[in-house]
Amino acid sequence: MPRRDDVHKILILGSGPIVIGQAAEFDYSGTQACKALREEGYEVVLVNSNPATIMTDPETADRTYVEPVTAEVATRVIEAERPDALLPTMGGQTGLNVAMELHEKGVLEKYGVTILGADPDVIKKAENRLDFREAMVKIGLDLPRSAVVNTFAEARDVRDDIGLPCVIRPSFTLGGTGGGIAWNVDEFDDICRRGLDLSPVSEILIEESIYGWKEFELEVMRDVADNVVIICGIENIDPMGVHTGDSITVAPIQTLTDREYQLMRDSAIKVIREIGVETGGSNIQFAVDPATGRQVVIEMNPRVSRSSALASKATGFAIAKIAAKLAVGYTLDELSNDITQKTKACFEPTIDYVVTKVPRFNFEKFPEAKAVLTTQMKSVGEGMAIGRTFRESLQKALRSLETGRFGFGCDAKEAQSELYEKEELRRRLQTPGPNRIFRIREALKSGWTVESLQSHTQIDPWFLTQMKLLVDREEDLRAHKTLTDVSDDLLRRAKQDGYSDHQIGTIFGLPEAEVRAQRRARDIEPAYKLVDTCAGEFEAATPYYYSTYDEEDELRPAAKDRIVILGGGPNRIGQGIEFDYCCVQASFALRDAGYETVMVNSNPETVSTDYDTSDVLFFEPLTAEHVLDIIERTDAKGVIVQYGGQTPLNLARQLEEGGAPIIGTSPESIDLADDRQRFKDLVDEYDLRQTENGTATSYDEAVAIARKVGYPVLVRPSYVLGGRAMEIVYDDETLKRYIEEAVDASPEKPILVDRFLEGAIEVDVDAVADGQKAIISGIMEHIEEAGVHSGDSTCTLPHYSLGDRAIAEIRESTMKLARALDVRGLMNVQYAVKDDVVYLIEVNPRASRTVPFVSKATGVQWARVAARVMAGEKLADLDVPESIDLPFFSVKEPVFPFNRFPGTDIVLGPEMRSTGEVMGIDRDLGLAFAKAKLGAFLSLPREGAIFISVKDADKRGIIHVARRLAALGYDIVSTAGTHRLLTRSGVPAEMIYKIADGRRPNVLDIVKNRKVNMIINTPSGRGARTDEGQIRGVAAMLAIPCITTMSGADALAHALESYRSDALGVKPLQDYHAELRADAALA
Amino acid sequence: MSNERPALLVLADGTTFHGRAFGADTERAGEVVFNTAMTGYQEIATDPSYAGQIVCMTYPHIGNYGVNDEDDEARRPWIEGMVVRDLSESASNFRSTQELDGWFKDHGLVGIEGIDTRKLTRRIRIDGAVNGVLSSVDLDPASLRAKAEALPSMQGQDLVKRVTCNESYEWREGWPAPWMKRDGNGERAARRIVALDFGVKRNILRSLVAHGLEPTVVPADTPAEDILAQEPEGVFLSNGPGDPAAVTYAVDTIRGLLGKVPIFGICLGHQLLALAGGATTSKLKFGHRGANHPIRDHATGKIEITSQNHGFVVDEESLGGTAFQPTHTNLNDMTNAGIASEEHKAFGVQYHPEAAPGPHDAAHLFERFRGMIEGGSATVTP
């Protein structure tokens, strides 16, 4: 069937900011969809608020609206663009929910917009628990016993029929937010209440517990001619009870016979047909009772998903791209398989390797929350690895995580880890947590049998046996005194089992480089094999490789000079999609400049690991060993370590020692910027200003410095990204506690102690330099005061309150730093401005988190410019504007995962905790603020109540804000102290009891009852158990906007003023950029 | 590691793979082929169509779920040997009764593990199917190469006589377990058919029974008149090993049946049907063996993902002038995958609707056979 000609313009909804459960995978899918549809000649209109994506690059879609992904905004875009069709399945649950809302509000019908892929009835049938269940019963598929209820009383009624333990899942929430397993009646009550609250339709599913059953997923595709294929089967190592996003998962399925697999395949096909997904991909989850083989259907996602991105990377079959083409009418047999080019997309990939995905957690950033895995997803990213055996791929995946692990144990980190005593170990095996895999190793090492491990963990014995084989291999190695005593055969087999040089070095007490040298002297080298969708049956055209220790190498010779770009590894807080954006831009720029680009990365969610992005892709862990092998074997002329965030930077030294040709700013300069003493010397030499500071390696030293510079001080370990373990400390005692914890967080690294400037304005500056010249790409003013991590701050571009003198000094200092550090490429400088005095906070001569935001705000692809500079070109030859006057404001607003970590205090601090960001653009600063808030899914009520409670220091400042809010017609509610202040100042306010007053209703009651629409609370005390901590916690769980800084409150007032008076206008990035170009031409 | 035994796989071109033996200590020779299915090693090992062949499994972990009592496709394994990247020492599955290594030992079968199976696969893909010797007793590559070189080509070999039954028998068993049941066909009048056994897989017989067809399985050399004397309502031509052109007696038999009784052939049976109809067959470079092959049904345009296992193929252009039309095409290489003759009430497919291992997409062809027996079309499933 040819493609549809009745459709010309297609609207795609993105997934918005990166949040837990909805991450970079939707940038990957969305970008593919845009490309696929434009390739077919369709005009693509995109709505996505996330500036850090490749998807929102002005070149990806025809009309790119960096606006909130909400029904309100999408309606405006539809009014403006009049698309013929909407593709709702590319933007995760967010995109799908907005599409449903547009349908329900009649917007689609009104403007004649057709839904492609799956119509609203289909989406509803797949997503609504009851409808889905009915459909499954109709086609004769087995399900767990269950009931759907809408009230708490109904939930109580069905409890005994279903029995405990049971699983509770709210309808229509992201990544299972609010769900859980109830083991007792109290938990049952709690989870049911929370689930009903969080479900937008107040509906929960209560279900027979199949906790401990084996969990599987199938990725299914269907075309308009009803051809159905299975792209990939995935088996979860962690059994049912752990969200699949938090499970270690493996492709293909390992422990089903063909008969059982085919039964599951038949069921999946029946499901997609019955639900009626007309075209595109779906993810269907199954559980299998290990004792009897009974298979039950769990759920279906009628859209591309995290799993489909994983399946695409695992098999080489580009699900989102093909889904987009199917949506416009092609059939599977009309599309070719990209990888073989000779065969069709209508087939089922078969693979000859094993893929393991391991989730990446950030529990250390939420110490108040329990580090326990449940049916609600908590991981912030994932690493994937490919090996010829499960053992190899598991070890590679574990060292992809960058948690200091180099595989399944035998590493420096293990040597430092405490061993658990028997009972504690048992408990940690029974309760899934982020490091359970290492507890399994600990148990195996201390003689536990596979049977006993299975009964504690419910993990399939096949996987446990494979883990035991790894421990056995270690014992084989340890049976030798020295590495030289180990036979070539044993060493090769250890490498085949995925043992890294680092691990082997740990076993024999040798440095990694020494193991590498010995191994290579014995001619034990990795071979690179192709991911080809067909297990070698056809020749692959696409250069997508992984390493293994087999005989035959399939790496093809270079056609041109190669440049290797090192990616950022798994997403985690502090290192997100922004760095992937930069790596992809570098690849595009260098390809344009005539190089063959080589990407190395281990994150399956990303655009960088799309085999279409670079000329050669290595899906490999970012460790010195793997990267050095690649650099050598690809005969790279250059290596870029500055674009992938801290990950590749941490390798720079080792790579350089290994002879890697690092291009751009020298690792020496990067080190210098991180080395306090040397940097201080440089600051003095160039006459720059820093706050007083010092470097301490012990508590005594730290206290001495703190007393010298004066409290409060900002303390942090060196060499970290994302403000890990950064804190503002007010006294000796807290400093002592901090040192104990921080040293633990970052061993062998000194602690930096800085005087902390209270109330200063923080400024982020991005620049690019070529050794001769530097250009400032953006000066961003933070809303939150210095002390809040820059990644967690809202910021505006251009700045809006800084004086000309401060700006001039900032410019000058930045230029000096570019020269001083001989920057060739990107750099980011952070300043604090207090009383018009500019203090240098830090400089990072590498890609920063703000690069994509600045690029979108200024219409220049800075990461591309810098990549070409790194390859040797000059700024003067690259047609880059020296300075850009911005006639509109861009606001970057962070998005936080607090609702996933109950019990966490949401107060902002120097430790970064946001997972993603959104961008709001408007001529009016207030509207730009408002759009950023809406983009972050914070509802901005046009009327209602605002609860205000501020610390004493903020009391004076709040009067003005409260007055403005009251003038807008909001009801101000506050507790006694603030209330007295406001009413005395003539601001009408209503009083409410504090929790401590012991009288009801108190403030917590009205927050819980959603009688409050917004909260302004600047904390006087931190901690989830304080009164205000409880209020903030509840607000986070109920998604009630909660502002915790005065500057934020001021910005909010500004946003509400504009938002209430003006209609929210929308405008695509392409128009903003055209405006900039026109202005530049006039100038 | 202590009880590991070395094994060698040597191809006729001298390529040598050093690995470790599993199963029995012995030496076997045959055509080396690869199968890309990720599951189903037990079914593959026992499929008589693999007689004379050493099978390399492209999926690296083999043996994960052990072997069980229900998944044998014949009374014994028929492969000459198996080549795997990583043999699983443990078996995990609720049906598993034994580990693969022990099962190989019990059946005197030899396997080699720990070699670069992708290298072997690519060699076969690039240079074509090749003979080889797999041994855990003779570890001299030169000696094994000489033995491999001395092996006859698969072309011209009648392997059917090795695998067919000695005497006829009735088959009445359906699915071995209730959960395996597919396609609700309900209770229907039984149709008596004859199944010519060229190496028939049990799942074919089960599938026939599931569609209300009661087969009498007869040896491959049963003449047409003996078959017709049984007055069957249909004749089924089974899968089997080797070169169809060498099984001249079966071609004669089928020629004697054509037009007299509805006929359905699978794989070798399909090739023999084509030969009987006057078409020709030839050897593919390295064959189709796997569970992911897309087939287009010309009548409906629909695509089925199918299980395949064949080294020979019907030359589509040779169908011109015969009573047969091409009905199915393999979308990977556009070779013929099905033929039919409405005139003779006969059809055949190159692939395996009985699956085992593989997808069930084509299972409806058994219904098409039944429909044809009841007067329906040879190209449309009722």
Reported ipTM: the value is 0.98
Scanning every residue of chain A, which has its alpha carbon at the shortest distance from the alpha carbon of B359?
A262
- Report the alpha-carbon distance of residue A501 to residue A396 in Å, rounded: 12
Q: What is the mean pLDDT of each run of 10 residues along chain B (382 residues)?
A: 86 98 97 98 98 98 97 97 97 96 97 98 96 98 98 94 97 88 71 98 96 96 97 98 97 98 98 98 96 96 96 97 97 97 98 97 96 96 92
Rounded mean pLDDT of A822-849? 94
> Chain A closest CA to B79's CA: distance in Å?
18
**A536 to B116: CB separation less than 8 angstroms, yes or no:** no
Q: Which of B39, B86, B358 is the closest to A256 by Cβ?
A: B39
Instruction: Give me the helices (H) in A566-694, please.
Output: 577-592, 624-633, 646-657, 667-674, 676-685
pLDDT reported for residue B291 = 97
Largest Cα span, chain A: 86
According to DSSP, the residues that pair with A86 across neighbouring strands are A11, A115
Task: Find the range with the poorest average confidence among A330-344, A397-411, A1029-1043.
Answer: A1029-1043
Among B39, B60, B296, select the one facing A353 at the smallest CB separation.
B60
State whether B39 and A539 contact (CB < 8 Å): no
User: Residue A1022 has what pLDDT?
Assistant: 61
HSE-CB for A393 with a 13 A CA cutoff? 26
Interface test with B, best of A341, A352, A487, A546 (most B CBs within 10 A): A352
Say if CB A471 and CB A444 are below 8 A apart. Answer: yes
pLDDT of residue B218: 98
pLDDT of residue B315: 98
Tokens of A804: 């000309």
- Closest-CA residue of A relative to B303 is A227
Residues of A in contact with B179 (CB under 8 A): 263, 293
| A252 chain-B contacts, CB cut-off 8 A | 38, 59
A141 close to A298: Cβ distance less than 8 angstroms: no
Structure tokens belonging to residue A1039: 């998604």
Nearest CA in chain A to B66: A257
The phi, psi pair for A337, rounded to 5°, reads: -75, 110
Over range A283-307, report the average pLDDT: 94
Backbone angles phi, psi at B84, to 5 degrees: -135, 155
d(CA A35, CA A895): 28
Q: Which residue has the tokens 């703190």?
A: A706
Q: Best interface-test mutation with A: which of B15, B70, B87, B93 has the largest number of A CBs within 10 A?
A: B93
CA distance A291 to chain B (A): 6
Tell me, what's the pLDDT at A883?
87
A824-849 mean pLDDT: 94
B146: distance to nearest CA of chain A, Å? 24
Whole-angstrom distance, CA of residue B101 vs CA of residue B87: 8
Structure tokens at A744: 């633990």
Find the helix or strand (DSSP H, E) in which A977 lies: helix A976-984
Convert the pLDDT of each residue in A98-119 to its tens digit: 999 999 999 999 999 999 988 8
Interface test with A, best of B32, B38, B87 (most A CBs within 10 A): B38
Helices marked H in A746-860: 804-820, 851-858
Mean pLDDT over all residues of chain A? 93
Contact B292 A460 (CB under 8 A): no
Show residues of chain A in contact with B36, CB under 8 Å.
Answer: 350, 352, 534-537
Is A475 strand, coil or helix? helix
Q: In what order do the strands lie in the sheet with A381-387?
A: A295-301, A280-288, A214-222, A228-236, A249-251, A354-360, A381-387
Q: Does B116 contact A552 at a Cβ distance shorter than 8 Å?
A: yes
Out of A226, A293, A347, the one facing B179 most closely (by C-beta) is A293
Closest-CA distance of chain A to residue B182, Å: 9
Say what the pLDDT of residue B228 is: 98
Q: Is the dihedral of CA A615, A618, A622, A624 positive or negative?
A: negative
Cβ-nearest to B331 among A346, A353, A551: A346
User: What is the spatial distance between Cα A396 and Cα A412, in angstroms, rounded to a whole number?
Assistant: 16
| CA of A226 vs chain B CAs: smallest distance (Å) | 8
State the DSSP string of A304-330. Answer: --HHHHHHHHHHS--HHHHHHHHHTT-
Distance between CA A601 and CA A617 in Å, rounded? 8
CA dist B170 and A648 (Å) reads 69
Nearest of A1000, A1001, A1037, A1035 to residue A1017 by alpha carbon? A1035
How close A504 comes to chain B (CA, Å)? Answer: 19
Quote the Cα angle for A651-A652-A654, to 5°.
Answer: 70
Residue carrying the six token digits 């302004």: A1016
Contact residues, chain B, for A293 at CB < 8 Å? 94-95, 179
Pick left, alpha or beta for residue A112 (phi over 0 → left; psi -120 to 50 → alpha; otherwise beta). Answer: left
Q: Tokens at residue B250, please?
A: 């079966």
Residue of chain A whose Cα is closest to the Cα of B33: A537
Q: What distance in Å separates the CA atoms of residue A618 and residue A626, rounded to the nearest whole number? A: 10
Subunit contact A550:B116, Cβ cutoff 8 A: yes
In this predicted structure, what is the pLDDT of residue A209?
A: 87
* Residues A617 and A599 sit within 8 Å (Cβ to Cβ): yes
Q: Which of B 103-132 lie inside 8 A of A, CB atoms?
A: 115-119, 121-122, 125
Burial of A706 (0-12, 13-18, 19+ CB in 10 A): buried
> Which pLDDT score is estimated for B2?
54
Tokens 């209300």 correspond to B212
Calpha distance A224→A118 (Å, rounded) = 11
Looking at the complex, does the CB of residue B77 fall below 8 Å from at least one CB of chain A? Answer: no
Which chain B residues in 330-359 lie under 8 Å from chain A, judged by CB atoms? 331-332, 355-359
Beta bridge partners of B217: B169, B195
Please indicate if any CB of chain A lies within 8 Å of the CB of B291: yes
Please list every residue in chain A whose beta carbon sits closer than 8 Å to the beta carbon of residue B95: 257, 293
Q: Which residues, numbered 163 to 192 in chain B, qualify as contacts with chain A under a Cβ-Cβ cut-off of 8 Å?
A: 179-180, 182
Q: Check residue A685 and give left, alpha or beta (phi > 0: left; psi -120 to 50: alpha).
A: alpha
Query: What are the chain A neighbours of B300 within 8 Å (beta carbons)?
Result: none
pLDDT for A746: 45
pLDDT in tens, A1002-1036: 998 998 888 999 999 988 766 666 788 888 888 88
What is the per-residue burial (b if ≥16 Cβ within 10 Å, else e) of A390-407? bbbbbbbbbbbbbbebbb
In this predicted structure, what is the pLDDT of residue A745?
41
A768 in Cβ contact with A795 (< 8 Å): no
Which residues are CB-contacts of A185 (< 8 A; sequence separation ≥ 6)?
A159, A164
pLDDT at A747: 45
Two tokens at B131? 């003979």
Contact: B180, A333; criterion CB under 8 Å: no
A475-483 long-range contacts (CB < 8 A, ≥24 apart) are A476/B1, A477/A504, A477/A507, A477/A508, A478/A507, A482/A508, A483/A508, A483/A510, A483/A515, A483/A518
Yes or no, beta carbons of B40 and A257 under 8 Å apart? yes
Integer Cα distance of A144 and A208 in angstroms? 5
Instruction: Summarize pLDDT for A498-523 with one digit per residue, the tens.
Output: 999 999 999 999 999 999 999 999 99
B45 in Cβ contact with B29 (< 8 Å): no
- Just list the catalytic residues of B: 267, 352, 354
Search chain A and give the residue with CA nearest B184. Answer: A140
Q: Which residues pair with A972 in a beta bridge?
A: A946
Cα–Cα distance between A1055 and A925 in angstroms, integer?
8
